Amino acid sequence: MSVMNFAPEALKNLFKKPVTTGYPFVPAEYPERSRGHIEISIDDCISCGMCVRCCPCGTLSVDRIKGTWTIDRYDCIACGYCVTKCPKKCLFMKQGYQEPGAEKASVTYTKSPEVLAAEAKKREEAAAKAAAAKAAKAAAAAEKN
Ligand code: SF4
Ligand code: SF4
């Protein structure tokens, strides 16, 4: 096959836009409906654990006391089920994919100190209320006897 066979195509391509993109120097354009990856507005999370229970891959974990939400992105299949189940709507899919890495590592998000302090205060108040109710119940029972 002679070089001349390719000449028309080569000439045509001289005046066409390139088919390839300059990624990673030019940011990638994701399709409108691409799922990308899971993100969280951590301060809106109530640590209910609903996402953990519904995740088919067991990739999530929540620590209520530490106020953390952890995801192992390498296990996540981006099914989006946790997003639909979150009662606070604080999980969402963001365009862009998990970056490759040399090691399989999870990512942990931690609530802000203000939110952690407010939650700790709420827990203390609830515990004090429960203790008072228990003491009142015991006193009422003692009075009866
Ligand atoms: S998108 Fe699917 S696999 Fe990923 S964390 Fe949510 S429920 Fe689990
Ligand atoms: S379901 Fe939503 S609110 Fe509940 S622990 Fe998961 S991210 Fe937080």
Task: Indicate whether 73 and 104 sit together in one domain.
Answer: yes
User: Which range of residues forms the domain containing residue 83?
Assistant: 31-111
pLDDT of residue 20: 87
Q: Is residue 16 part of a domain?
A: no
- d(CA 47, ligand 1 centre) in Å: 16
Assess whether the C-beta atom of 71 lies below 6 angstroms from ligand 2: no
- d(CA 98, ligand 2 centre) in Å: 21
> Which helix (H) or strand (E) covers residue 71, if one does?
strand 68-71
> Which helix (H) or strand (E) covers residue 62, if one does?
strand 60-63
Task: Indicate whether 100 and 64 sit together in one domain.
Answer: yes
pLDDT of residue 4: 81
Q: Specify the DSSP class assigned to residue 100.
A: P
Q: Which atom of ligand 2 is nearest to the CA of 82?
A: 1
Q: Which of 40, 42, 43, 50 to mutate to test the pocket of ligand 2 (most atoms within 8 A of CB)?
A: 50
Mean pLDDT per 10-residue section of the chain, whose length is 145 residues: 82 88 87 90 97 97 96 94 97 88 90 95 94 92 84
Task: Give the pair of three-digit tokens for residue 89.
Answer: 């709507």
- The vertex-53 CA angle with 50 and 58, nearest 5°, equals 130
Tally of domains within the chain: 2
* Cis? peptide before 24, omega within 30° of 0: yes
Beta bridge partners of 48: none
- d(CA 34, ligand 1 centre) in Å: 15
Task: Indicate whether 35 and 97 sit together in one domain.
Answer: yes
Task: Give the pair of three-digit tokens for residue 92.
Answer: 């969402």
Q: What is the CATH number of the domain that holds 97?
A: 3.30.70.3270
- d(CA 132, ligand 2 centre) in Å: 30
pLDDT of residue 1: 61
Task: Indicate whether 39 and 104 sit together in one domain.
Answer: yes
Task: Indicate whether 124 and 106 sit together in one domain.
Answer: no
Which residue CA neighbors atom 2 of ligand 1 most closely?
A: 79
pLDDT of residue 66: 95
Task: Indicate whether 129 and 106 sit together in one domain.
Answer: no
Rounded to whole angstroms, how far apart are CA atoms 21 and 80? 29
- d(CA 45, ligand 1 centre) in Å: 16
Which is nearest to 64 in space by CA: 54, 50, 85, 78? 50
